[in-house]
Structure 1
């Protein structure tokens, strides 16, 4: 592959990856710097349930109750256990059900923008977004590798490429070992 084609590929991959990386680094940095994200939680309903209800029965009950509470509400799937379920995706308004002492409490969660971004960042968006995020991750990797190859293949940039790659690797190892 000639150098100009590789430069064009690098620019194409980098352009696509820029928005993706910017949103991921923004949401991750805000989480690390500002702490946990906020959401408004309102109790919607409390219902009696049998002791020792299993996950499948709780899921059916939760789905039926969600249809009664908000007939327009759509969710992708339920995640959890026999004592607690969450409707996904959680990067928009969602519901939870928690079982305790023979009753189940259903709550509606309305996440803030920061919480919505972080939930998406963690892969808790729509199931279809997971595949897209996987592809975007490969695009980021392609942008990085083409940039590395372009720097390595240029005599003028080779030492700088080695220095930045080495410093990045050392920084990663130090932070990982903390």
Structure 2
């Protein structure tokens, strides 16, 4: 006897001994797919944390440059000497400075190196520096190197013109 038509299909088709509605859970393929999507998302987010740190460094260096420029302008316009006090990660106590109107720049995570205008390195245990701007436009001058982890920025202050250049 040969089965034909619908009867042949019904005989050879397997049926589950239990109802489809009672099956619950995820297949291995679905779980692997979701884990793959999460891994791709995580790989895109993790490298951006370093970018935030470099932005913070740039912002702090720009802030120092703007304070130096403001002090220079104030000295020329007001006809009085102005001063900027810079302190790196080891905060220096500027309490002995008599100039109350001096601008102050502090950082918790940036260290400073200072070279005087003759390009000799001045080693300072105090980690605090002062830059003076004079009414004639000059300054005490020098070069500051800002260091944070593997990042570095250089600020050059011309002793004759008082101009500030970030390199």
TM-score interval for Structure 1 and Structure 2 normalised by the shorter chain: under 0.3
Between structures 1 and 2, the one with greater strand share: 2
Q: Is the radius of gyration larger for structure 1 or structure 2?
A: 2
Between structures 1 and 2, the one with greater helix share: 1
**What TM-score results when the alignment is normalised by the length of structure 1?**
0.24
